[in-house]
Amino acid sequence: MDFNYTEEQLLLKDSVEKFLTKNYSFEQRREIIEAREGYSPLAWEGFASLGLLGVPIPEEFGGFGGHGVDTMIVMEALGRALVVEPYLSTVVLAGSAITLGGSDAQRKILLPRIVEGSMKFAFGHTEPGTRFELNRVETSARQEGGMWVINGQKSVVLHGAAADLLVVSARTSGAPDSRQGITLFFVNPAEQGVAGRDYPTYDGMRAAEVSFDNVSINPESVIGVVDHGFALLEAVVDRGIAALCAEAVGCMGALHAATLEYLKTREQFGVPIGKFQALQHRMVDMLIQYEQAKSMALLAAVNVDSPDATQRRRSVSAAKEFVGRAGRFVGQQAIQLHGGMGVTDELSVGHYFKRLTALDTTFGDSDQHLDRFLEQENAAVEAPVLKPAKQWKQLV
């Protein structure tokens, strides 16, 4: 049992935090969001030169060869600075899909480009009419003349317009909700038949509705094994969820600090409002939720690469369920404790609140992960030592 970061991890934490403090202030972020691209190419270059884009990528492809905890360190810092760049979709999701499922050629070509910052990815899975069921995929891919032809639509694809390459789930066989028959593909958004509608999301990010109309792609675009993409999809998304939990912890930490500061400086009735017990207890409850969320993000980060898939699913879904609840609570309390200022666009509080709200929905909300957590129960309800019923009777 050891809750300390290694020297290397401390260095990583320090460098990402320093970089963001210097180059990613709340005002700078505001400008980035308003810019046409919806992200900052300059910041992306900065991430690349710091080595952040290679954190979970194996060393042989130029990465840092990190694990869940390393990603957690980066994501927590990104959360604290409300970073809007496509780190999650490029490094965590596409990076994991390629690392875990890609062919040698795909890994050799694509992973170094992620690390150096020359390629950005988006991850298209959710479809209209679904929530975040991993197994429900209606976008189809059929073989035709040695090519794959894709038809369908993906909804709210984060950073869809910024991506150089899309990772898309499609049905290659089976019923719409079968786990069997799902395959992951790379799709070039410039390909004929791919159409997208780019729009801002309420938390300062960009997303797109992407449709595929007889999009023809070559067989080298398959990631992993045809029809057997579900396990890969699940492992990739689990990494994404663990990362999101860490990002949420970063947001909660920032909200906790900002709110505490506000309670100590804002005066009413001639005293700092932090002197009032009703507010103190809310603040304590925020701290408790934040600390517990940290514990759960840690559990997810440590177990996300566990060879025991049940343990991995259980930890990740429990964390997502908890962090979703905790994030809503901390966000709502932070706004309430800031009073009128909390509902302004000017303060960062509302922006953290919005990001936390979005995080709960992304990759399945608390309710959905409660379901998944329960699916992991192997119905092993053992009987504790209880005596057999008595054979004889006696009046009380």
Partner 1 sequence: MDLNYTPQEQAFRDEVRAFVRSRLPQEISRKVLEHKRLEKEDHVRWQKILYEQGWIAPGWPVEYGGTGWNPVQRHILEEECAEAGAPPVMAFGVYMVGPVIIAFGNAWQKQQYLPRILSSDDWWCQGYSEPGAGSDLASLKTRAERQGDHYIVNGQKTWTTLAQYADMIFCLVRTSNTGKKQEGISFLLIDMRTPGITVRPIITLEGGHEVNEVWFENVKVPVQNLVGEEGRGWTCAKFLLSHERTGIAGVARSKRELRLLKYIASQEKKNGRPLLQDSRFRDKVARVEIDLMALEITNLRVLAADREGRPPGPEASILKIKGTEIQQALTELMMDAVGSYALPHLPAAWSNHWLGERVGPEYAAPLAARYFNYRKVSIYGGSNEIQRNIISQMILGL
**Least spacing, CB of residue 129 vs partner 1, in Å:** 22
Which residues is 268 bridged to in the sheet? Answer: 271
Q: Identify the three-state secondary structure at position 350.
A: helix
132 contacts partner 1 (rule: CB under 8 A):
no
Q: Where are the beta strands (DSSP E) in 218-277?
A: 222-223, 267-268, 271-272
381 contacts partner 1 (rule: CB under 8 A):
yes
Which residue in the set 7, 190, 271, 390 belongs to the binding site for partner 1 (CB under 8 A)? 390
Rounding to the nearest 10 degrees, give the CA dihedral for residues 276, 280, 283, 289: -150
Which residue in the set 94, 283, 330, 356 belongs to the binding site for partner 1 (CB under 8 A)? 283
Enumerate residues 260-279 that contact partner 1 by CB under 8 A.
Answer: 260, 263-264, 274-275, 277
295 contacts partner 1 (rule: CB under 8 A):
yes
First to last CA, the chain: 52
Which residue in the set 52, 97, 293, 358 belongs to the binding site for partner 1 (CB under 8 A)? 293
Amino acid at 16: V
Rounding to the nearest 10 degrees, give the CA dihedral for residues 285, 289, 295, 296: 160
Whether 233 contacts 310, CB under 8 Å: no
- Residue whose CB is less far from partner 1, 126 or 366: 366
Whether 286 contacts 256, CB under 8 Å: yes
| Contact region with partner 1 (CB under 8 A), list: 95-103, 129-137, 212-220, 256-264 | 256-264
- Residue whose CB is less far from partner 1, 105 or 380: 380
DSSP string, 322-335: HHHHHHHHHHHHHH
Contact string (CB under 8 A) for partner 1, positions 308-337, x = contact? ----------x--xx---------------
- Residue whose CB is less far from partner 1, 37 or 261: 261
Q: Can you give the length of the chain in residues?
A: 396
- Residue whose CB is less far from partner 1, 115 or 370: 370
Count residues near partner 1 (CB under 8 A).
50
CA-based nearest residue to 285, from 319, 251, 247, 252: 252
Residues that bind partner 1 (CB under 8 A): 1-5, 9, 69, 260, 263-264, 274-275, 277, 280-281, 283-285, 287-288, 291-296, 298-299, 301-302, 318, 321-322, 370, 373-374, 381-387, 389-390, 392-396
